[in-house]
Structure 1
Amino acid sequence: RGGNRGAAGNRAGSNRGDSGTSGDGGRRNTFVLATTIDDVSQHIQSQGKWILDTGAGLHATDCKDDLIDYVEVENGPIFKAGFGGEGRSPGYGKVEFVTYTEWGTFSVTVTEVWYMPGLGHRILSAGRLDKKGCRILANNGRIFVQMENVSYGGYGTLHEWLDVMEGRLSEGNSGVYYMNIHTKAHQERVKALAVLEQSVDLWHRRFGHLGYEGLGRLAKEGMVKGLNVTADQVKEAAEAKRTCEPCVKAKLTRVPHPPSGNVSNLVLQRVHSDVCEMPIKSMGGARYMVTILDEHSGFATVRLVATKDMVPDVLKEALTLMENQTGKRVREFQTDRGREYVNVRMREFFWDKGILHSTSVPYTPEQNGRAERLNRTLLEKVRAMLQDANLEQGFWAEAVMTACAIRNCSPVSDRGATPHELFHGYKPDVSVLRVFGCTAWVYSEKQHRNKLDPVCEKGVFVGYERGSKGYRVYLPQQRKVVVSCNVRFDEQYPQQDMTNIPMDTVSDDSDSDEEHSASDAGESGVIPGVGGGKSNGAGTTHDGGNIGNGTGSAGGDANIGQESRYPRRTHKAPDRYSPEPGKRHVTVAATTIPKEPSTYEEAINSPEAVHWRQAMDEEIASLHAQGTWRLEHPPQGANVIPGKWVYKLKRDANGGIERYKARYVAKGYKQIEGVDFDEVFAPTGCHATVRAFLASAAAEGMEVHHVDVRTAFLHGELEEQIYCEQPPGYVTGEGGEKCRLIKALYGLKQAGRAWHRKLEAILAANGFEISESDPSLFIKRVGSRVVRVLTHVDDLLIASNCASLMAEVKQYLAKSFDIRDLGAVSVFLGMEIMRNGGELKISQRRYAFDLVERFGLADAQPEAVPMKPNLVQLTAQGIGVVEQEPFEDATKYRALVGGLMYLAVVTRPDIAQAVYRLARYMSKPVPAHWEAAKAVLRYVKGTAT
């Protein structure tokens, strides 16, 4: 944190020693405080605010109660407050402060603080702090007092400067700063914060705006553990008739339908379900929530899906999981008559499991009343939580998952236990609960930041992670959700308004009157850390303090009135998280950055299953639309080629996810030459052609646009008779049928050639000619108008000096192929392309930094040149390396040099000579070569733009 050293000198005429006592010889020793009575308002004084004064000669307070170890003196310093008053200090002592900074909460002791009755202020002298070894930095109206080598108790000593005090510049006086500190003598205020944390209103919000009656039952009947509020407090709040605005906006009272007299008396004896359509897509793309309710216990779970055809899959998974958790089996399943429940797939599932499927009479939702009531309860909580948090409606999926988990820990019947306890057999521990939508600070792991980056990121708490005992926090700047147990919260104040985040709205219409609600392929129902059958009491689940509520862990095990002398750091979990007997295991922090699955099974079982399923559906629909195959029984002895799903995350120039892509490909290496294929060559644009294409376009003032051809290879027609396996997850027919390929499927050896042949014919019919320099470049001239098309498999670059001619070419291509017009090019073949007027810049910045991260040099010092002279001589002649042992991992060396070579070939000719020298030792590198290669990468790190 940069800043100038704060001035900390004496006023004219002052003369002080370290103790602040007067000098010898009877000379009058007068200290003038820079602060005047007009600088600070009376209400600030009454709140016990301390001022850091860069012009004050010593520390002073007008309140004797602030001081401990008080010492009376006869010849104390004479003070003037700048308004004409004068007095002599009768003594001094030391003050113990509780300070609040971004690093945490500290206990700091300041010595030699003089008691000056009638002063009207509490003053800290910047000069005194400076002499005591503190460092004072001021920047942009803020001031920071730093100390070095701060001890962290069990964590040891941190050898760096930490902010132990923070303050802000006062208005109208550039030398006075209000500090964010409090004395131990004012501990009543801190205790008030502790009371606030455990207050009825706070627990009301933590429980998703649960009614006072339900909250009182939780406290009175001891249904949960970790609830630090009494039934009397709840009763007092209810009698005071406190108004909760989010509750008023979210909840309506309706006349209930009479309950059914036939009530189940066993867990899973009867399970209810409903599908609810939402008016807006969630952040993750879900449009429906599927609610599942056990009638006996009242335990509920939620699944989120993008389309209704996914409902049978999530129902099967959810019911199987519930049976495995309880050791019991579902006997009856009650729903409405929506098509998502009444279909062949569900009928077969119920038949195999021996489940009776009961349905309601059409247009009579009352007969599925329990599921309907569950939907209402969840949506009431969701509306209240979103209102309370000032969050956009697109966060409904996160809210409904949290609401369902909270509901399971709340009383829903008069049976004296929560649904969680009735279903799982043990009481939940609610000490981990936090207010949905509150501000949260997440610790950034070292591998994700450099030494100068902040140690944490500010986000919004959006729920509890299933299975990892972590908190889910949305980071607005990165537009992603991370999961971590190293989180600190501020639950006192609503989150800043986030209702302007753009969302994709969808129609409110349903396909049927029987269809009501919906979800993202996620699951909710259990708050991580609430159980396990055993508990060590509050505070054994997460390392998350409450910023706004004083210090403490998420479990509430810290005593607000007994501040530690050391800041609570968030990068290391306390010992209570170690997997010892009797203690819960907490997983390491993990972000929910999607990964590319390698198999179909990984895709459908991943957290992003909804996206991968949608991508596969689109691929299958495209394959059928193109007439890629027809199902046949292959002749005996035919070579049936296996296939596989390939998954890819398409990213934008900033590295964000643009779309999920799934492609079904043939395993072409199983083809037999001469039987399944002959010619396979197909031209693609080389990097030299791409650079020349972009350079000429920039020089001639042409616009360059990017067009992607969807399922390009499927347009190529095959001449051979080839059979392929049906795609996993989409097998149809009576059994034994294989795909007789009509079009070229990705993965076939001749697929690229067939596609290029088709594209070449289409462009030639539109007047394009093949360039003599590169067969992947096509040119068309119409008078002075020129349009060029550069092809690289299914990616096309189109450059033209005439916008209408470019539009004509796009329209012509769209008639023959299914294309995506990506507009002005920004990313092509891994190159980031930026335009500034008549200038085009190409870069591989993201690839370069990925390479740096991959080889563990994120924190390394950059090099000024690719290769130093001594290494040039070393790599040229092999001097000094003959006697060295071979490098321990030659494959790693080859991978690094290969990565550098790709950079050199595409955008970084400045490292070409160094990479050329390193490439000479690919077979038998020695440690000296490895160090030289890392030096090149460090140079790339320092020059990547």
Structure 2
Amino acid sequence: MEKVRCMLSNANLPKSFWAEAASTTCFLINRSPSVSIKKKTPQEVWSGNPANYSDLKIFGCPAYAYVDNGKLEPRSIKCVFLGYKAGVKGYKLWCPENRKVKEGTPGVEEPRYKARLVAKGYSQIPGLDFTDVFSPVVKHSSIRALLGIVAMHDLELEQLDSPRQWYKRFDSFMTSHDFKRSSFDSCVYFKKNSDGSFVYLLLYVDDMLIAAKDKGEIRKVKAQLSEEFEMKDLGPAKEILGIEILRDRKISKLYLSQKGYIEKVLCRFNIQSAKPVSTPLATHFRLSSALSPQSDDEIEYMSHVPYSSAVGSLMYAMVCSRSDLSYAVTVVSRYMVNPGKEHWKVVQWILRYLRGTTDVCLQFGRTEDGVIGWKATLQTTVALSTTEAEYMAITKACKKAIWLKGLFSKLNEDLQISTVFCDS
């Protein structure tokens, strides 16, 4: 930390840039000779390649980032050098004028788009990507958990929309009105009323769901929000994130359906008239990387096939409501980089399966049998036996169950985890 303090002091940068200074410090230490390893650098010992000192710059020195504002406008903007970006040929710069890190300019960084579904968000590391900002999004499991509570207790469920960015003030506003934010999902808010009932609010970017025992409580929350923000009342919740919300309150049932979304996907890939199949993945498919294009003709053919788009569309359906697609989508996702004709046939097979199961949906009711979470993925570590693999899988399942138990406890529901089953 002594080096970090010196670098921040020399560059006259505030403490908020400690992560960038620490990252640069580690970068330099890994490229500095060490007596303990016979005057070699840690990078050379680790990778076998000598360190390259030609791209080293002074932390906090002036730097100029390329901008394209027109023929008569300046071609660069003055910034401050903040360090290096792993895997990218360029530097990380800070622009004092708009107080933002410059992105997407030659020699700086590849553009990072605002993420709404953040893959492995838990893997953010202080000093590398911990300061990245994303849109506020609730977990899909949290949405299904709340809708399960709504169906079980026959709660009122309505929806709001905000046409502009406002989350910076939203959290402080909610807490000032006696709402508490869940420690298990930062986009879940709840408030306990004097009569013991609860009001729940889920936030996804600028869309929200509000659930309560009676509409009076919902109207009260809507009025409070409308006084502070420009809100659009969407009435009873009918759809969120492309998922249709269907209710039959006479029998206390709530359904989550993606029929409309799936039909659009089938039309986009010209499968709307194909013959349906009964399984998401047939046993006769034997996929491997050896089936990737080998000849120029195959490469040319696959360059016109929307493989990635189709897999992405299937993945969204799987994440939201179609747990039956989990394994099949995981299989075809492995070959996104260089798919072949056989891989594309499997994707078409999955689409044909959807063709015959567009009406399949998730169901929640008064009984405790609603599906909330699922996952199918390759293990990131190599197991030495099937028993070890089963323990790894069951550990992941238990971690998810413990998280759900904590989430439900915050929502005033007691989730009992009695038995966890596992097979090979």
TM-score of the two chains, using structure 1 as the length reference: 0.24
Among 807, 812, 824, which residue is 2:224 paired with?
A: 812
> Rg bigger for which structure?
1
Provide the secondary structure at the position in 2 that maps to 1:870: coil
Q: Call closer, same or farther: CA 1:674–1:695 in 2, change over 3 Å.
A: farther
- The residue type paired with residue 188 of structure 2 is L
Q: Distance in 1 between matches of 2:75 and 2:220?
A: 45
Instruction: Verify: 1:676 aligned to 2:103, yes or no.
Output: no
Q: Call closer, same or farther: CA 1:932–1:787 in 2, change over 3 Å.
A: same
Instruction: Verify: 1:712 aligned to 2:126, yes or no.
Output: no
Deviations 1:352-374 (A, max 9, x none): xxxxxxxxxxxxxxxxxxxxxxx
* 1:798 paired residue number: 210
Provide the secondary structure at the position in 1 that maps to 2:199: strand
* 2:236 paired residue number: 824
Instruction: Verify: 1:691 aligned to 2:144, yes or no.
Output: yes
Moved beyond 6 Å, runs of 4+: 636-640, 879-884
Provide the secondary structure at the position in 2 that maps to 1:868: coil
Provide the secondary structure at the position in 1 that maps to 2:284: helix
Q: Distance in 2 between matches of 1:882 and 1:760?
A: 51
Answer yes or no: is the 8 Å Cα contact 2:247–2:255 preserved in 1.
yes
Among 742, 755, 758, which residue is 2:169 paired with?
A: 758
Deviation at 1:878, TM superposition (A): 5.5
Answer yes or no: is the 8 Å Cα contact 1:785–1:802 preserved in 2.
no
Deviation at 1:802, TM superposition (A): 2.9
Answer yes or no: is the 8 Å Cα contact 1:862–1:939 preserved in 2.
yes
Deviations 1:727-777 (A, max 9, x none): xxxxxxxxxxxxxxxxxxxxxxxxxxxx21211111111110001111111
Provide the secondary structure at the position in 2 that maps to 1:921: coil
- The residue type paired with residue 848 of structure 1 is I
Deviation at 1:638, TM superposition (A): 12
Q: Distance in 2 between matches of 1:675 and 1:700?
A: 53
- The residue type paired with residue 149 of structure 2 is S
Deviation at 1:813, TM superposition (A): 1.0
Q: Distance in 1 between matches of 2:179 and 2:76?
A: 39
Instruction: Say which structure, 1 or 2, has more relative contact order (CA 8 Å, 6+ apart).
Output: 2
- The residue type paired with residue 98 of structure 2 is D
Among 331, 335, 339, which residue is 1:925 paired with?
A: 339
Answer yes or no: is the 8 Å Cα contact 1:768–1:780 preserved in 2.
yes
Provide the secondary structure at the position in 2 that maps to 1:798: strand
Q: Distance in 2 between matches of 1:940 and 1:922?
A: 20
- The residue type paired with residue 337 of structure 2 is S
Q: Call closer, same or farther: CA 1:638–1:795 in 2, change over 3 Å.
A: farther
Answer yes or no: is the 8 Å Cα contact 2:293–2:339 preserved in 1.
no
Q: Distance in 2 between matches of 1:761 and 1:712?
A: 17
Q: Call closer, same or farther: CA 1:817–1:638 in 2, change over 3 Å.
A: farther
Answer yes or no: is the 8 Å Cα contact 2:157–2:210 preserved in 1.
yes
Deviations 1:431-463 (A, max 9, x none): xxxxxxxxxxxxxxxxxxxxxxxxxxxxxxxxx
Answer yes or no: is the 8 Å Cα contact 1:890–1:925 preserved in 2.
no
Deviations 1:184-226 (A, max 9, x none): xxxxxxxxxxxxxxxxxxxxxxxxxxxxxxxxxxxxxxxxxxx
Q: Call closer, same or farther: CA 1:931–1:639 in 2, change over 3 Å.
A: same
* 1:787 paired residue number: 199
Answer yes or no: is the 8 Å Cα contact 2:289–2:335 preserved in 1.
no
Q: Call closer, same or farther: CA 1:792–1:881 in 2, change over 3 Å.
A: closer
Deviations 1:634-676 (A, max 9, x none): xx98999xxxxxxxxxxxxxxxxxxxxxxxxxxxxxx965542
Any residues of structure 2 matched to 1:538-557 within 5 Å, and which?
none
Instruction: Verify: 1:700 aligned to 2:153, yes or no.
Output: yes
- Whose strand proportion is higher, 1 or 2? 1
Instruction: Verify: 1:916 aligned to 2:367, yes or no.
Output: no
Deviations 1:876-895 (A, max 9, x none): x5677787845522761111
Q: Call closer, same or farther: CA 1:822–1:816 in 2, change over 3 Å.
A: same
Deviations 1:40-82 (A, max 9, x none): xxxxxxxxxxxxxxxxxxxxxxxxxxxxxxxxxxxxxxxxxxx
Q: Distance in 2 between matches of 1:890 and 1:908?
A: 28
Among 758, 768, 777, which residue is 2:179 paired with?
A: 768
Provide the secondary structure at the position in 1 that maps to 2:254: strand
Instruction: Verify: 1:937 aligned to 2:334, yes or no.
Output: no
Q: Call closer, same or farther: CA 1:928–1:673 in 2, change over 3 Å.
A: farther
Among 834, 845, 850, which residue is 2:264 paired with?
A: 850
Deviation at 1:830, TM superposition (A): 0.9
Q: Distance in 2 between matches of 1:857 and 1:706?
A: 33
Q: Which runs of 5+ in 1 are unaligned?
A: 1-635, 641-670, 714-754
Percentage identity across paired residues of the two chains: 29
Q: Distance in 1 between matches of 2:152 and 2:96?
A: 47
Q: Distance in 2 between matches of 1:776 and 1:868?
A: 39
Deviation at 1:703, TM superposition (A): 1.1
Answer yes or no: is the 8 Å Cα contact 2:191–2:198 preserved in 1.
yes
Q: Call closer, same or farther: CA 1:674–1:799 in 2, change over 3 Å.
A: farther
Deviations 1:790-812 (A, max 9, x none): 11122110011132222211111
Provide the secondary structure at the position in 2 that maps to 1:918: helix
Q: Call closer, same or farther: CA 1:674–1:684 in 2, change over 3 Å.
A: farther
Any residues of structure 2 matched to 1:335-484 within 5 Å, and which?
none
Q: Call closer, same or farther: CA 1:863–1:764 in 2, change over 3 Å.
A: same
Q: Distance in 2 between matches of 1:906 and 1:851?
A: 15
Q: Distance in 1 between matches of 2:75 and 2:340?
A: 51
- The residue type paired with residue 206 of structure 2 is D
Q: Distance in 2 between matches of 1:781 and 1:683?
A: 23
Q: Distance in 2 between matches of 1:706 and 1:943?
A: 28
Deviations 1:133-157 (A, max 9, x none): xxxxxxxxxxxxxxxxxxxxxxxxx
Q: Distance in 1 between matches of 2:328 and 2:265?
A: 17
Answer yes or no: is the 8 Å Cα contact 1:785–1:805 preserved in 2.
no
Provide the secondary structure at the position in 1 that maps to 2:219: helix
Answer yes or no: is the 8 Å Cα contact 1:786–1:802 preserved in 2.
no
Instruction: Verify: 1:777 aligned to 2:188, yes or no.
Output: yes
Among 308, 323, 331, which residue is 1:894 paired with?
A: 308
Any residues of structure 2 matched to 1:127-276 within 5 Å, and which?
none
Deviations 1:692-719 (A, max 9, x none): 121122122211100112x332xxxxxx
RMSD after superposition = 2.7
- The residue type paired with residue 771 of structure 1 is S
- The residue type paired with residue 345 of structure 2 is E
Q: Call closer, same or farther: CA 1:702–1:849 in 2, change over 3 Å.
A: same
Q: Distance in 1 between matches of 2:240 and 2:143?
A: 9
Q: Distance in 2 between matches of 1:907 and 1:818?
A: 31
Answer yes or no: is the 8 Å Cα contact 1:706–1:821 preserved in 2.
yes
Q: Distance in 2 between matches of 1:686 and 1:889?
A: 34
- The residue type paired with residue 340 of structure 2 is V
Q: Distance in 1 between matches of 2:136 and 2:248?
A: 31
Answer yes or no: is the 8 Å Cα contact 1:778–1:790 preserved in 2.
yes
